[in-house]
Structure 1
Amino acid sequence: MTAPASPPSGSARPPRRIMAIWCSGLAIDRWRHSENCRPGEGRDAHPLALIEETAHGPRLAALNAAALALGLREGMLLADARGICPHLFTEPADPQGDRAFLGRLALWAQRWGPWSAVDPPDGVLVDVTAVAHLFGGEQAMLEDVQARLAARHLAARLAIAPTAGAAWALAHYLASSSRGAQPCGDPEANAQPPRIAVPPAAARNDEGDEGLAALAPLPVAALRLGEDVLLVLRRLGLKRIGDLAMIGRDALRRRFRKQRDPFANPLLRLDQLLGRIAEPLLPVAAVEVPLVQRSLLEPIRHLPLLEQVLADLAADMAQLLERRGEGARRLELGLWRVDGDAAFRQLEMAAATRDPAHMVRLFSARLADVDAGFGIELVRLRAPWCEALALAQSDLEAEKHDGDGTSLAAFIDRLTVRLGEGAVRRPDPHASHLPERAQRWVAPLAPLAADQGEFAFHARPLKLLDRPEAIAVLYATPDGFPRRFRWRGAVHEIARVEGPERIAPEWWRERSGTRLRDYYRIEDGQGRRYWIYRHGLFGDGRGGEPEWFLQGLFA
């Protein structure tokens, strides 16, 4: 719109400048990255939609250009979209993956400023105060940003303004063309991605008149308000930001005085837009992952040499973790061969550790099947998951008896490596009177859930079947004790019976027609004890004849 800001001079404090990067097609662009295809090529050449599950069925969360050209819109039900385009390709949306991608993009954008912040769901804010002259001015910097994003096939709209709110509004609702500023609703303006730099003079004066004049043509949606507030403003005839100044601040304050949420208070958003009120931003910071590696002069092919290199790396990793006051919960070992191929091994410990001997012992069990090929020339060890681990004074007396015992965490790690992931778990009691929901399996050293109350149960069997098995039961009377039952092809005579213990369904989770259970502890003629239950009662009006199941075995 105007000339870029000049570099700071003297001791005067430079005006603040914020750059907004709006990735208008973040979900589709990230999907292309995962498919390794360019826009309009491969599967992206056909109509495609990313769908999300909702209470009313699957809806379209994101669309590519081919789908938009057919008249499909985000938020449509998938069934309605199929009526317009029967051959629509669909893929599941991944909002969590999109947020992770946006976080990596924010870190990458710090090449243009000292810090950056994620602006969910699809934007990044970068502080470019006093750095634009390093790129030849703000317009040149915007062109550089646009070129680098285009090289990565990311569609983006950019703007630089004195405040984060103004930069966001300009990137979303203003476009730059040869004819001047046009609202984003103009198709011609949308055809050209905007690269806008508002000069510092347009920030505001003492009354904020200049800033309001520069942003007055923008719609009220540029204030980042909720849909319900926008609907109220439109019904009042307030469609542009300039319209808010015509009714006065007192009227807005009286109308929205009870709204403390920024998304529901247009006066607060307007002050943030003009810089009258500071807007807190949370910068992203790169997390340095502990990493050690060895570049070998001669490739190695034998396991003893590889274990020796691994021992050196484990010692280096232990020293690095000790300086950081941390311990590793997850370790990743990368082995690069001479031919360029690589093999990776991963470990996840039950508790944070930085014991080199323990690391080597665990990895040694997973190196026997490594194919060294013509030799391994690079070995890298990294710890992507770390936890705080304070230094502890070693026991001098215990050092004399080294090897007499093993810690519980080390023992669990060795069992996990030998038996496989997920093979070592412990039960966590859960507040539910249904036997199959009375406990959950968690990691061995994971903290147990908070106490959910005292529940006094009758004796429960030592072993519960993964799924209750149907049995055939004979009894003297419909409501009497069982006398004989058949299970897995064998008939068992019942010698003793204890019960019933009636368990009702969880009414807040089950349907009203769910049947009751009557549990019995029984013993056959050979002294074997079982836990069976009758599902339903005679004449309860909730189904046919009651069914019998065997759910547990006593010791």
Structure 2
Amino acid sequence: MPGEGADADPTVLITETAHGPRIHAVNRAGQEAGAMAGMMLADARTVCPSIQTAPADPAGDLACLEKLAVWAQRWGPWSALDPPDGVLVDTTAAAHLFGGETRLLADVEAAFAARGYAVRTSIAPTAGAAWALAHYGPPRSILSANDNMNRALAELPVAALRLDDDVLTVLRRLGLKRLGDLADITTGAVNRSEEAARDALHRRFRNRKSPSANPLIRLDQLLGRVPEPLLPVIPQQMPLVQRRLMEPLRHRSLLDRVLADLAEDMTRELEGRGEGARRLELGLWRVDGEVIVRRLELAAATRDATHITRLFEEKLDNIDAGFGIETVRLRASWAEPLAAEQGDVEAAAERHGTSLAACIDRLSVRLGPDAVRRPVPHASHLPERAQSWHPPLEGAWPVQTEPVRDRPLKLLDQPERIAVLYASPDGYPQRFRWRGQVHEVMRVEGPERIAPEWWRVRSTVRLRDYYRIEDADGARYWIYRHGIVGDGRGGMPDWFLQGLSA
């Protein structure tokens, strides 16, 4: 991330959540100041008020990681992604080409340092062992097939097994903090206490098939007892067209003409491949060496040169040509299959400005890529999970939902706690206070009971009883009682307001 220099300011990348900005990544200076990934930004500012922030870009990080994985194939026949920040390279029978494994790792570190990346490298017989050493071992580690892996990795923490956080919590409660502790229990017991711990571990995780949720599977993968499937990254040549200009461009009208020519070239290139562009990148090389990049993401695959030109024109208004632009390049970094079809109807709609895809693209360019979304039903009885937001033209899996009662027109982003007066703890509400105002309940309909999703949450989560109520002013609300008296899952029930009706 930016700002990894020795004298850099504490800097974090943040993502927006329902509860406020949360730290996605932090540089070395930020870690030394007390900030950590997953921490709320407000908490980080209490320990380091001068911390600098920048928005996180997970999609951009993944795209960069994919490029690095392809570039890293210079050290082996194939590579694989290890999100969010790793690349695995198969160096089998390749180390001698670099003068040995030590020199190979030195070459890796030098190549990444030349591009401004700080890396931790390791070589091991298995992908799991290499990951463990790279993350929790020395900055440069080599483990050969002749080494005793149990002994070499025994002092690493159990987090080196790439497990989920809740699984790590269980292991720590069992007193298993190092890989050596886990290996001793899974391979054999010396006394009754170790035998009981081994049986408990097998019973607890034997039904978990996901490797990240089962330490037994992860340990076997790390030691090479069972294979670990990896998905190689296959480089794909994406359509690219460019113009090297005889004279540098400084005027907007000439740049628009070059852009129109490139759009036509890109259309012919895509048509020959039977594809349409979903993401386009326009690069402008100035005489002074600076490169200006403008990106465009489309709602649907297209190879309409006029549409592409019009969208990019809105992104070139603030271009500073300096002493001139000498090279212009257009690249389709994301393309999808697009069959040839009769386009008279769509072309007519485009001329009159009524094409849905064209309208969505224009709105996205002007308002931002996340401003245009559509709700898609989601298979859940919980109101806050009954729908999710998707790109406007992206297909969604069909969802079969049972008929439910009418839902309010507006749901709050988060249910808000209210104070309710009732005749009995499990009776109808008679009066409630919300946002400092008291409402007299005139009509009540309910309850509608919604049980928690047992496959997602703990068994101690309480039931909800929903009521549709109307106050003395005719306003209608959707409230629920969280819990039942005597259910053994907490104290007295709490009340929340979740929706408003017409």
TM-score range for the pair, normalised by the shorter chain length: 0.5 to 0.7
1:256 and 2:202 matched: yes
Equivalent residue number for residue 41 of structure 1? 7
Give the secondary structure class of the aligned counterpart of 1:159: strand
Equivalent residue number for residue 353 of structure 1? 302
Identity, % of aligned pairs? 47
1:41-440 maps to which residues of 2 (within 5 A)?
41-44=7-10, 85=47, 87=49, 89=51, 91=53, 94=56, 96=58, 102-151=65-114, 154-175=117-138, 193=139, 195-202=140-147, 210-216=148-154, 218=156, 220-225=158-163, 226-231=167-172, 234=175, 239=181, 241-242=183-184, 244-247=186-189, 252=198, 255-256=201-202, 258-259=206-207, 260-299=209-248, 309-338=258-287, 349-356=298-305, 358-360=307-309, 376-392=325-341, 411-412=355-356, 421=366
Give the secondary structure class of the aligned counterpart of 1:256: helix
Matched to 2:73, the amino acid is Q
1:535 and 2:475 matched: yes
Give unmatched runs, 5+ long, in structure 2.
379-385, 411-442, 451-463, 478-499
1:516 and 2:470 matched: yes
1:454 CA drift (Å) = 7.2
In the TM superposition, what whole-angstrom CA distance separates every residue of 1:364-394 from its partner, at most 9, and x where no partner exists?
78879977676543222222342210234x6
Counterparts of 2:401 and 2:189 in 1: how far apart (Å)? 55
The structure-2 alpha-carbon separation of the partners of 1:517 and 1:49, relative to structure 1 and needing over 3 Å to count, comes to: same
Give the secondary structure class of the aligned counterpart of 2:366: coil
In the TM superposition, what whole-angstrom CA distance separates every residue of 1:59-85 from its partner, at most 9, and x where no partner exists?
8776655566577777778787777x4
The structure-2 alpha-carbon separation of the partners of 1:156 and 1:383, relative to structure 1 and needing over 3 Å to count, comes to: closer
Counterparts of 2:12 and 2:389 in 1: how far apart (Å)? 37
The structure-2 alpha-carbon separation of the partners of 1:57 and 1:173, relative to structure 1 and needing over 3 Å to count, comes to: same
Given that 1:256 and 1:265 are in contact with CA atoms closer than 8 Å, whether structure 2 keeps it comes out as no
Larger Rg: 1
Equivalent residue number for residue 13 of structure 1? none
Given that 1:335 and 1:376 are in contact with CA atoms closer than 8 Å, whether structure 2 keeps it comes out as yes
Given that 2:445 and 2:467 are in contact with CA atoms closer than 8 Å, whether structure 1 keeps it comes out as no
In the TM superposition, what whole-angstrom CA distance separates every residue of 1:317-364 from its partner, at most 9, and x where no partner exists?
123212332112344444445455666666555532224455456667
Bigger mean CA offset, 126-135 vs 376-385? 376-385
The structure-2 alpha-carbon separation of the partners of 1:505 and 1:409, relative to structure 1 and needing over 3 Å to count, comes to: farther
TM-score by length of 2: 0.60
1:278 CA drift (Å) = 0.7
The structure-2 alpha-carbon separation of the partners of 1:212 and 1:343, relative to structure 1 and needing over 3 Å to count, comes to: closer
Give the secondary structure class of the aligned counterpart of 1:201: coil
The structure-2 alpha-carbon separation of the partners of 1:75 and 1:141, relative to structure 1 and needing over 3 Å to count, comes to: same
Equivalent residues, number: 415
Matched to 1:241, the amino acid is A
Give the secondary structure class of the aligned counterpart of 2:6: coil
Given that 2:373 and 2:389 are in contact with CA atoms closer than 8 Å, whether structure 1 keeps it comes out as yes
1:456-467 maps to which residues of 2 (within 5 A)?
none
The structure-2 alpha-carbon separation of the partners of 1:231 and 1:89, relative to structure 1 and needing over 3 Å to count, comes to: same
> What value does the CA root-mean-square deviation take over the aligned residues?
5.7
